[in-house]
Amino acid sequence: MRNGRRVVITGTGALTPLGIGAQESWSRLCEGESGIGPITRFDASGLSTRIAGEVKHFDASKYMDRKVARRSDLFAQYAIAATRMALDDARLEMTEEVSHRTGVILGSAVGGIGTLCYNMRTENEGNSEGVSKMLASMYIPSAGANDISVVFGIKGPSRGLSTACATGGHCIGDAVRFIQYGDADIMVAGASEAQIVPVFIDSIGRLRASSTRNDEPERACRPFERDRDGFASGEGAGVLVLEESEHALARGAHIYAEITGFASNIDAYHATKPEPGSQARCISLALRDAQIAPKDVEYVNAHGTATILGDLSETRALKIAFGHYATQLMISSNKSMIGHMWSASGAVEAIFTALTLQTGVIPPTINYETPDPECDLDYVPNVKRTMPVNIAISESFGFGGMNAVLVLQRWTD
């Protein structure tokens, strides 16, 4: 570790299609429930994909002042809410002294796309106020990080990242580096997305990346399965409180897990077609950073989007990185239940990976009915497993070939 500083997770907050809060989402995930359903946010009847994983029963006023909510896009509202949950979970008081040693890295792939689309509407389409003077500050991807810093008084390093589907993994990995290099003792890290708007859902449908199983939304997302036809978009946020281990122990914090390795790279190959060799190298670099061997890893929280090329590439990458040991790995895709939450996927899945290490519960990959002969590893089909897990990795592979891999380890003092 850089300077001998170890980084642990002391707080989690999440809003997902499965529930409000990390624990509610985790409980339903382990039981194999699906959060995918018909789109209710707008009339999707004319689109090829009419299903998504929407966050349900969200009330912004429970987590922030109404004035803050009015000047924040929905993705930033989700980020603020998840941050409040994470800070409360960590039992962290943001004193003046603490605030200067605490930073924020909060990412989003598309930022305030809902606000942008609304401001592009004409009066006849329901926008009678014209373009908002707050538009520029509300739709940029860094708005979430900015709002978190203001709401919670966090004055250390701050970043807003946007690296497509790998954003959440990159935010957490970069936050780990800030702590390892001594620039902060605590980092609030994660990602948020609220991209269920007509133009985005239509675009992904035209790309043929999303499932068209509109009549059976709960069964639509089928990672690694032979009859998969794409993902369902999900929305929400995941935020972690990361802390230098000695700092956490000194204040008696609960520790979920330790983050021992991180790596990132890019395929430099194609905008939407993944390259397994580059993904495998990212995995290997993360293992090297954690100073462990492939045989030490027991569980992989996969990117697992349920796209034809994506799942095949990820399976091949695991075989390259782990060799013959790949057949002994337990692998599961949370996206079978929460959908593809874009930037937020990596953050939420890192939380779920930490909970696997803490509880010994491996969530299933649901909707796995007919095996694909080319995806022939152990994807923990349909039913959770319970057994101790000491080391796990969380993978995020994004559009443009951007890759991020985190290594998490069960905490032992």
CA separation for the pair 138, 132 (Å, rounded): 10
- Diameter of the chain measured on Cα atoms: 62
Q: Three-state SS for 243?
A: strand
Q: Kindly list the domain boundaries of the chain, sorted by start residue.
A: 7-250, 263-409
For residue 43, give the amino acid letter.
D
Q: Lowest mean pLDDT: which of 120-129, 165-174, 244-253?
A: 120-129
CB–CB of 239/9 below 8 Å?
no
Alpha carbon distance 405, 166 (integer Å): 9
Bridge-partner residues for 340, per DSSP?
A: 233
**Reported confidence tier of residue 47, pLDDT bands at 50, 70, 90:** very high
Q: How many Cβ atoms sit within 10 Å of the Cβ of residue 221? A: 36
Q: Of 30, 165, 221, 282, which residue is the catalytic one?
A: 165
Of 13-27, 130-144, 293-307, 365-379, the one with minimum mean pLDDT is 130-144
Mean pLDDT of 258-262: 98
Going by pLDDT thresholds of 50, 70 and 90, the confidence category of residue 233 is very high
Please confirm, yes or no, whether 100 is among the known catalytic residues.
no
Neighbours of 45 (CB within 10 A): 9
Q: Are strands 257-266 and 385-386 parallel, antiparallel or unpaired?
A: unpaired
Domain spanning 263-409, CATH class:
alpha beta
Q: Fill in the DSSP letter of residue 151.
A: H
CA pair distance 114, 196, nearest whole angstrom: 8
Instruction: Give the active site residue among 30, 221, 247, 340.
Output: 340
User: 208: left (phi > 0), else alpha (psi -120 to 50), else beta?
Assistant: left
Ramachandran sector of residue 65 (left: φ over 0; alpha: ψ -120 to 50; beta: rest): beta
CA distance 190 to 176: 12
Stretch 298-313: mean pLDDT: 97
Q: What is the pLDDT of residue 330?
A: 98
Alpha-carbon span 132 to 89, nearest angstrom:
35
**Annotation says 340 is catalytic:** yes
pLDDT in tens, 309-350: 999 999 999 999 999 999 999 999 999 999 999 999 999 999
Cβ density class 184-197: b for 16+ within 10 Å, e for less: bbbbbbbbbbbbbb
Burial class (CB in 10 A: 0-12, 13-18, 19+), 129: exposed
The stretch 203-217 carries a mean pLDDT of: 95
Class of domain 7-250: alpha beta
**Residue in the block written with tokens 């695991």:** 318
Please pick, among 30, 282, 303, 375, the residue that the annotation labels catalytic: 303
* Same-fold call for 7-250 versus 263-409: yes
Residue with tokens 């990596």: 346
Look at residue 1 in the predicted model and tell me its pLDDT: 46
CA distance 73 to 161: 17
- Residue whose C-alpha is closest to residue 348's, from 33, 23, 8: 23
- Rounded to a whole number of angstroms, the CA Rg of the chain reads 20
When pLDDT is cut at 50, 70 and 90, the band that residue 137 belongs to is confident
Q: How confident is the model at residue 29 (pLDDT cuts 50, 70, 90)?
A: very high
